[in-house]
Amino acid sequence: MIKHNKEIRRVVGYVRVSSLQQVTNGVSIDNQKDKIRSFCKDSDLELISIIEDLGRSGRSTNREGYKTLQSMIRNKEMDGVVVYSISRIGRSVMETSKFLDEMVKADVKLIGALENYDISSANGRMIVQIHSIIAENESIQMSERIKDAISYKKANGKAYNSNTMYGYKRIGDDLVKDKEEIRHIRRIKNFRSRGWSWYKIAKKFNEEGVKTKNGGKWYNFGVKNVYGYYYG
């Protein structure tokens, strides 16, 4: 439970899970919501609503929920915003600082269910920014580790995501060339060298009953993507 210098009654919750996280890693949307609801109940706060962003990186501000939250803050539709932790607001120090400025101007408080913030004071804002710096650094390190893992798997012929590129088939964690698909890839190159358009190649494949990796029909952009992947 927290004590407020200014009476805070109506609050909005904000939750987010990025595209780099698994929803079961301990900070899932449901876990965040439960923590916020419990916190508001214990602190005698009226929780108006919970705004959420699913599969959205905190390093980007192009989030519908985030934009809605900003609009509500500017219109002073609540007394405070409750988050699971500061990293849920964002993982960009610069954008988080801008967000805090908007809250201070609107006299809306930032409340952390795990941490206690007072953004009206210089020390409080400094603490929030320190948390934001740590969160941004963690995000960058996570991205680098994922990129390294993908590069390693690519270099060693291992499957690195759920999608398998045309020309390969997945056997366990290994990627093996699909001879039939490779033949069609070479045909695409041959057709292009003869001046065929993407549309004409797609039409040819569909007339022959050649299927895409997903078993569907070919379209010009699909043919172009396959050609670009192998021949640049």
The average confidence (pLDDT) of the chain is 79
In this structure, the answer to whether residues 54 and 119 fall within a common structural domain is yes
Work out how many domains the chain is built from and give that number: 2
Domain annotation covers residue 80:
yes
Do residues 65 and 172 share a domain? no
Domain range for 87 is 10-146
- From residue 218, how far is each of 8, 166, 200 by CA, in Å? 58, 12, 10
pLDDT of residue 98: 82
- Model pTM? 0.50
Beta bridge partners of 168: 177
**152 part of a folded domain:** no
Q: Round to whole Å and give the CA distance between 47 and 103.
A: 18
Give pLDDT, residue 33.
92
The model's pLDDT over 70-108, given as tens digits with 9 standing for 90+, comes to 999 999 999 999 998 877 776 566 777 788 888 888 989
Question: Residues 174, 157: contact at Cβ < 8 Å?
Answer: yes
In terms of Cα–Cα distance, which of 132, 72, 83 is closest to 108? 72
13 or 18, which is more confident?
13
Which residue, 82, 114, 146, sits at the end of a domain?
146
Model confidence at 24: pLDDT above 50:
no
Confidence band for 212, pLDDT divided at 50, 70 and 90? very high
pLDDT digits (tens, 9 = 90+) for 51-69: 998 865 545 567 888 999 9
Q: pLDDT value at position 161? A: 56
Token output for 77: 């539709």
**Ramachandran sector of residue 107 (left: φ over 0; alpha: ψ -120 to 50; beta: rest):** left
